Amino acid sequence: MRAHVKGFDVKLEDQTDSWQMLALQGAARRAILGQLTKIPLGEIKYYKHRGHGVNGVANAWVSRTGYTGEDGFEVYVPRAEAEKTVGSAAGGGKPRGLAPIGLGARDTLRLEAGMPLYGHELADDINPIEAGLDFAVKFVEGKDFIGRKALEAGENQQMPPVVGLRAEQAGAAAGLQRSCSRRRGGRLRLLGDPLAHPACQHWDRVRRVRRGGPGDKLEIDVRGSREPAVVVPLPFYKRAK
């Protein structure tokens, strides 16, 4: 980024360590957050944000985003105000069943919702088009952007697509769950079915298949054992709107 600001009247400052983000997801998210802010939460559209003011912090922001497949909000506060904000949310949300979760649970939820994660379905060598994010990439004639030439070159755009897998035997699901949770400390499934994802067997790389559409039968390698599975459409779960 620093290389690209040369020649512009721009000052680039990394403030990552100066801010904290609190994600509030689930059915009671608006009621809980509404106790901490006067921002009209119902007016915030999906993937939009509003400021300012949360829990007495004047420069806090709220966005209607999240990575769980559910409707929710994310609150951005200065790092010095983070502990107080979390404490207020936890205290006000406890009667409504609010509980903290970690990255293992987040990975389970985003997996079921078919959301790509950087380092898995999206990476330095897996571009946004390959990851199914082509809706966010627009090639407008005469309009340039950083990375356009690399995307247009299409060097890797013939990679096999990511698909969903439904294991047909309970033993396969258990093996997949152990394989996934061993790396992240999380559960593989919440939906009650033995679900898998090509990214799941080894969390460090996405797994893709060269052939296989919905309904096709495949085999998956679960700790050295070949188990039957069927290709299913993504996402595994889609919330009701």
Residue 87: CATH number of its domain: 3.30.1360.120
9 pLDDT above the threshold of 90: yes
Report the pLDDT value the prediction gives residue 51, as an integer from 0 to 100.
83
Report the pLDDT value the prediction gives residue 83, as an integer from 0 to 100.
94
Beta bridge partners of 226: 221
Q: Are 36 and 93 in contact (CB under 8 A)?
A: no
Q: Which phi and psi (to 5°) does residue 153 adopt? A: -60, -30
Q: Considering the entire predicted model, what is its pTM?
A: 0.73
Mapping DSSP to helix (H, G, I), strand (E, B) and coil, where does residue 230 land? strand
Q: Are 228 and 221 in contact (CB under 8 A)?
A: no
Domain that holds residue 78: 13-99
Both 89 and 118 in one domain: the answer is no
Both 40 and 118 in one domain: the answer is no
Both 82 and 116 in one domain: the answer is no
167 pLDDT above the threshold of 60: yes
In a domain, 58, yes or no: yes
181 pLDDT above the threshold of 80: no
Q: Where are the beta strands (DSSP E) in the chain?
A: 19-25, 49-51, 61-63, 72-78, 164-167, 195-196, 217-222, 225-232
In a domain, 139, yes or no: no
Nearest-angstrom CA–CA distance, 164 and 233: 6
78 pLDDT above the threshold of 90: yes
Both 116 and 196 in one domain: the answer is yes
Q: How many residues does the chain have?
A: 241
In a domain, 105, yes or no: no
Selected residue with higher pLDDT from 228 and 82: 82
Report the pLDDT value the prediction gives residue 55, as an integer from 0 to 100.
94
Q: Which of 41, 104, 103, 98 is nearest to 74 (CA)?
A: 41
Both 206 and 228 in one domain: the answer is yes
Both 47 and 80 in one domain: the answer is yes
Cis peptide before 235 (omega within 30 of 0): yes
Report the pLDDT value the prediction gives residue 161, as an integer from 0 to 100.
65
Selected residue with higher pLDDT from 163 and 101: 101
Q: What Cα–Cα distance (Å) separates residue 230 from each residue in 81, 169, 175?
A: 48, 11, 16
Report how many helices (DSSP H) and strands (DSSP E) the chain contains, helices first. 5, 8
Nearest-angstrom CA–CA distance, 223 and 21: 37
Domain tally for the chain? 2
Q: Which of 95, 106, 92 is nearest to 33 (CA)?
A: 92
Region 172-192 average pLDDT: 42
